[in-house]
Amino acid sequence: MKFKTLLLSTATAFTVAGGAQAADLYVAEPVDYVKVCDAFGVGYWYIPGTDTCLKIGGYVRFDINLHSDTVSVASGHSGAWDFVSKGYVSVTAQSMTDYGPLTGFVAINGAFGDPSATLNANATIDEVFLSIGPLLAGKTGSTYDYGGGYTYDGSDLDSDKAQNQIRLSWAMNGFGLMFGIEDSRYRWGTSSTNDMPDLIAAITWSQGAWDGKLSVGYTDLTTGGAWGAQAAASVKLDQISPGSAFRVKVAYAEDAYSFAGGTTTVTGSYWSALASFKWYLTPNVYAAATYDYVDNPVGPDDWQATGQVTWMPVHNFQVGVEGGYRDSTDAWFGKIRLQRDWGG
């Protein structure tokens, strides 16, 4: 009898202990797992405990530059060659509101090249802006600009500026309308009176394989009011091979040299043109070529031709070779690039 009582007591003890452990597990703090967010495209995930979706992108790049112009201040050249290492990280935060998507974007980069040149820099903010519905405020690509060639550096002879700005944008049925008010100092420096910001308007379209942009800009320089206009279009050439494309762009500016890619600060009529082609030889190899030209009202015209071949042996990693020539400096240049991307 005593033995039976002992067994019952032991079983009861185990039952109570097991129930206590089960209760402890039941009241444990819940784990808030990271969840995929597909509301804004690929690569987003919810910040745990919020309705905000986050995306992290970037790249690490190593360039070997070769050139005959050993006095080029813009690229920090100190000889016929140099190495440049660069890192870039971007963070995009998005959530949906009654007024449309609420977005915050920050991009940071740092480049390390010639130790005695400005190219050897600590991390700096490259872009930073917020937007809600049609309103954008911050520093990003100018409302006036469209994009350069398909080669690595796009073009040295066209308008390509990051501007502190306020922008309104609307899009419907493949067409868009944009108005921008931009800080004139970023484009013109001391050539601007700073009495008023630059005023920009643009129309965009995207229909099937085509997209394009028509933009106009007005500025107040120390020489007086000046303006420029630019038209650009791109077409996808998937019938040749998926990913292939062609781009053309023309610009005209009256006393506003930067709107047409000019660099001299004198008054006059400037115009420029660009054509670029990208051809995928295989799904992992593509070739690109860019030719750009700018008319100089007070001196020799300038043109530049660039060619490039890029191989992507694995996803998000590329190896490329580029070469070109610029007329105004009578200089050739070349580049070997290794780059690892992530996050789109």
Contact between 278 and 288 under an 8 Å Cβ cutoff? The reply is: yes
Rounded Cα distance, 93 and 52, in Å: 6
Extents of the domains making up the chain = 1-30, 33-342
At 239, the pLDDT band (50, 70, 90 cuts) reads: very high
DSSP character string of 319-330 = EEEEEEEETTTT
At 154, the pLDDT band (50, 70, 90 cuts) reads: confident
Location of structure tokens 């933009």? 215
Rounded Cα distance, 71 and 66, in Å: 13
The pLDDT value given to residue 329 = 83
Rounded Cα distance, 298 and 266, in Å: 8
269-281: per-residue pLDDT in tens? Answer: 889 999 999 999 9
Identify the helix (H) or strand (E) that includes residue 309: strand 302-314
Rounded Cα distance, 268 and 262, in Å: 11
The pLDDT value given to residue 7 = 41
Rounded Cα distance, 290 and 212, in Å: 18
Cα–Cα distance list, 178 to 85, 159, 162, 199, 252 (Å):
36, 17, 16, 11, 20
Report the predicted TM-score, pTM, of the whole model to 2 decimal places: 0.83
At 73, the pLDDT band (50, 70, 90 cuts) reads: very low
Rounded Cα distance, 119 and 109, in Å: 12
- Percentage above 90 pLDDT, the chain: 61
The pLDDT value given to residue 82 = 82
The pLDDT value given to residue 113 = 75
Q: Is 87 helix (H, G, I), strand (E, B) or coil?
A: strand
Decide if pLDDT at 194 tops 80: no
Decide if pLDDT at 289 tops 90: yes
CATH superfamily of this structure's domain 33-342: Porin (2.40.160.10)
